[in-house]
Structure 1
Amino acid sequence: MDPLNPESFTHKKAFVNGINLHYIDEGRDVNGVLILCHGFPDLWYGWRYQIKFLVQKGFQVLVPDLRGFGQSDAPRCPPNSFSAYSWKTIVTDLRDLMDALSIPRAIFIGHDWTTDDSSGPNSDSTGAAWSSGA
């Protein structure tokens, strides 16, 4: 894993929640599974310097390109709707990725460059941690 060479990472895709989701999969689950989530506007590559360090600490590290970003599918939305990109939809993508990989528990780590006014009409509240029940 060379942070300056994106192709040195293990790239995979999974069909989840109706889309192809691209993700990086590195390390083995010795101390747990970490799912690193990028914000807007970013890609999995924003985590490139942290991945190797976390793998060396014994974590399996999954880093998806969230829907609409990077090599993941970008579904079209009806006019004046962002339903395909709601927090609920994105969390469902991540839950389905865990299910597809038979991962029952994971620790989520995220970052973002923007602020969120979660009081708006299109907001939904969704928890950041997930245990899939798989």
Structure 2
Amino acid sequence: MAEAAAIRHRTVEANGISMHVAESGAEGDPAVVFLHGFPELWYSWRHQMAHLAARGYRCVAPDLRGYGGTAAPPDVASYSAFHVVGDVVALLDALGIQKVFVVGHDWGAIIAWYLCVFRPDRVTALVNTSVAFMRHVFIRAGAAAVKPTDFFHGNYGPTYYICRFQEPGVAEKEFSPANARYLMKQILCNRFTSSAVGGEKPADEEPLPPWLTEEDVGHFASEFERTGFTGPINYYRNMDRNWELAAPWADAKVEVPTRFIVGDGDLTYHYTGIQDYIHKGGFQADVPGLDSVVVIPGAGHFVQQEKADEVSQHIYDFISKF
């Protein structure tokens, strides 16, 4: 893995909230903005920031709203994709960046897809990881369209985590800040299940994989112990709202140049029908700018941390074309 880059931290006022931003590398162009997922932080991109900063890129990694050092509005409706895309655009404006390379993971990938639909003029090229552009989940189109929560309920049942997350207060009982360290270990190591939360924790936990240190876990845990998980969970509570509000873009496609990266062991790569969609034309039809799909063997959901050097090189190889 690349050596740790010198990280600069600051708070930026953008879109009516205070955003914590980590930066490394050069001050000018070209710039790369990294959008993290659930339940993560800017820190998820530490390896990629080091790799690209060493190659002359300005790296910008915010904590998204509700996470870490960024403000967490109390209203559930304040976590729609429109709010978060607005945060990203306002952040670019505040930093004086007109166009940017975008790299996203998990919910950050979802926000990046929306950004490329709503404001493609601000994106030079996109590298998204883990979550493909599933049009029926992102955008309402047609009278027979099925709400995202109904889609997940119908395919995976009422106990699926996206379904459990919908009612305020329920998920918070599972995601207690007091258990943040244990939860982060379970989630990052792809060992999280509903039975892994609540009650006593086992005295002897499984060892961490070689790509994750106790210091890494501690960084995530300390932030979630302080902030709790409600802001992050509120993103899921806006899935139906996003789907409805995005209806005016029902025919929009992702035209910006795109590379998609996913681990072959990622849960999202095993959604019903997703591999046929990704590899047999549907994904390309919705994302005409798709340049390539990279499937990384032996990687789970947190691919940018699990296979840091490989992912960093794929990002660099792609964005260096522009």
**Pair in the same fold by TM > 0.5:** yes
Partner of residue 71, structure 1: 69
Partner of residue 106, structure 2: 112
Measure how far apart 1:31 and its partner are.
Answer: 5.7
Partner of residue 10, structure 1: 8
Partner of residue 124, structure 2: none
Counterpart selection for 2:89 from 95, 112, 116: 95
Bigger Rg, structure 1 or 2: 2
Bigger drift between 89-98 and 22-31 goes to 22-31
Partner of residue 132, structure 1: none
Asked if 1 retains the 8 angstrom alpha-carbon contact of 2:24 and 2:60, the reply is yes
Could you say what secondary structure the match of 1:74 adopts?
Answer: coil
Partner of residue 46, structure 2: 48
CA deviation vs aligned residue, 1:45-90 (integer Å, no higher than 9, x gap): 111111111101110000000000011010110xxxx321111110
Measure how far apart 1:25 and its partner are.
Answer: 1.4
Measure how far apart 1:112 and its partner are.
Answer: 1.2
Counterpart selection for 1:122 from 223, 226, 241: 241
Evaluate the alpha carbon distance shift between residue 83 and residue 128 of structure 1 in structure 2; reply closer, same or farther with a 3 A threshold.
Answer: farther
Greater helix share, 1 or 2? 2
Flag structure 1 segments of 5+ consecutive residues without an equivalent.
130-134
Q: Does 1:62 align with 2:44?
A: no
Letter in 1 for 2:102: F
Partner of residue 198, structure 2: none
Give aligned pairs, total. Answer: 122
TM-score (norm 2): 0.34
Could you say what secondary structure the match of 1:90 adopts?
Answer: helix
Flag structure 2 segments of 5+ consecutive residues without an equivalent.
108-129, 139-146, 149-239, 257-322
Q: Distance in 1 between matches of 2:34 and 2:66?
A: 16
Asked if 2 retains the 8 angstrom alpha-carbon contact of 1:15 and 1:21, the reply is yes
Percent of aligned pairs with the same amino acid: 32
- Structure number with higher relative contact order (C-alpha < 8 Å, ≥ 6 residues apart): 1
Greater strand share, 1 or 2? 1
Q: Distance in 2 between matches of 1:97 and 1:128?
A: 23
TM-score (norm 1): 0.78
